[in-house]
Amino acid sequence: MDMPAKASRPSEGQRALAEKLVSGEKPAEPRVVELDASVYIDPLRFEQERRAIFEKWPLLLAPSALLPDNNTAIAHDGYGVPLIISRDGDGRVHVMANVCRHRGTRLIESAGVVSSKRIICPYHAWTYGSDGKLMAIPRADCFPGIDKADRPLMQFPALESGGFIWFAQAPDADFSQVEALAEDMEAFGMSGLHLYRRKTHQVTSNWKQVMDAFLESYHVQRLHAETIAPFFTDGIAAADFIGPHQRAIVGRADYLSDIDRDDWAALRRVLTYTYAFFPTSILIVSPDYINLLVVMPQTVGTCLVEDFMLINEPPQTPQAEAHWERSWELLDGGTFAAEDFRAATLCQRGIESGMVKTVTVGGLEDGIAVFHQRLGSLL
């Protein structure tokens, strides 16, 4: 597992973005962009995205905190590939096929974290280690000529960096743009955080509808009027990019307070950082906790979104537990599920009606335009 980072200062890029916003630097002249509405409903477009992006680019699986202990593993099917994410006895992460090399049986069936010191096939008890190596074949005499060393579980390229676990289906996938995020993630201390809660939501919209919701601040005062809008000032936002990944900040109501921009705690109290990890994940950094949303396309009109809430340490008192439970309900249930994901579904239904041929993106939604332009260039 990554060594826990104990950064007390923002990265150079995080500080520069905050300075840009707090100093009142004038944003670029707003523009209006029309997106072809078919990008959300065309099955051919969805297939092109699957082949050109999801089968080639590194994809985020989970925070490192999902597997805090050695010799543990979990099944993962969100991207349509049966996977095992494991941490071996030395703390190294592996991403492997959840398929036995004997008769193809699924190895790990539960949805939770399990011990992986021995991964035993439920059919014929072929046994694998947490690194995927085949350890034992019952009645090995029945399999003359088979060398266990030649039958490990299929391995996928994987990287643990900045407190996150990534994988790729393509054997030659380039993880350099993932590694470029590490400095910012270490500034948040991602590698040392505790996973408080996780939940997977089924959203009946194209996956890009969910990504769009977190690439703009225009909706905050309108859609979130009853939940988080009071914490923010309308239109106070700034964004830049780390390679293909968008880094954005939204100002809270007291964003002009006279704060030391090197005081990380003070900065996080008045600015909310949001990262759109290309292609399908969102990180929202609240003052004392962090939410990771992993968006996993299923069909042209459906997706899964797994929400992970990360905090500094496990709750030590009933009062702490109640505090984190309220925070979880505010965002996961109240903001994400009831507002953002609902809005994505409503947009999908409207576009599926055929009543609109283009989607209009305005000045406070420029991140959406850039995101779709990048996607289009890869197809």
288-330 pLDDT, tens per residue? Answer: 999 999 999 999 999 999 999 999 999 999 999 999 999 999 8
* The CA-based dihedral angle spanning residues 327, 250, 215, 186, taken in that order and rounded to the nearest 10 degrees: -70
Provide the b/e sequence for 313-325 (b: ≥16 CB within 10 Å).
eeeeeeeeeeebe
* Residues 6+ away with beta carbon under 8 Å from 173: 56, 57, 58, 157
End-to-end CA distance of the chain: 35
Compute the chain's Rg from CA coordinates.
Answer: 22
**What is the per-residue pLDDT for 259?**
72
**What is the per-residue pLDDT for 219?**
63
**What is the per-residue pLDDT for 5?**
44
Give me the long-range contacts of 24-33 (CB less than 8 A, separation at least 24).
Answer: 25/238, 27/238, 27/363, 28/366, 30/362, 30/363, 30/364, 30/366, 31/363, 31/366, 31/369, 32/360, 32/361, 32/362, 32/363, 33/360, 33/361, 33/366, 33/369
Put residue 69 in one of left, alpha, beta given phi > 0 → left and psi -120 to 50 → alpha.
Answer: beta
**What is the per-residue pLDDT for 1?**
46
Cα angle 78-81-83, degrees, rounded to a multiple of 5 = 85
pLDDT per residue of the chain (379 residues) written in tens, 0 to 9: 444 445 578 999 998 888 887 776 666 677 899 999 999 999 999 999 999 999 999 999 999 999 999 999 999 999 999 999 999 999 999 999 999 999 999 999 988 999 999 999 999 999 999 999 999 999 999 999 999 999 999 999 999 999 999 999 999 999 999 999 999 999 999 999 999 999 999 999 999 999 999 987 756 666 666 776 566 665 567 889 999 999 998 876 566 556 777 788 888 888 889 999 999 999 999 989 999 999 999 999 999 999 999 999 999 999 999 999 999 998 999 898 988 999 999 999 999 999 999 999 987 788 899 999 999 999 9
**What is the per-residue pLDDT for 378?**
95
Distance CA 298, CA 201 (A): 12
**What is the per-residue pLDDT for 264?**
84
* Residues 6+ away with beta carbon under 8 Å from 49: 297, 375, 379
- Which tens digit of pLDDT belongs to each residue from 98-120? 999 999 999 999 889 999 999 99
Distance CA 118, CA 124 (A): 14
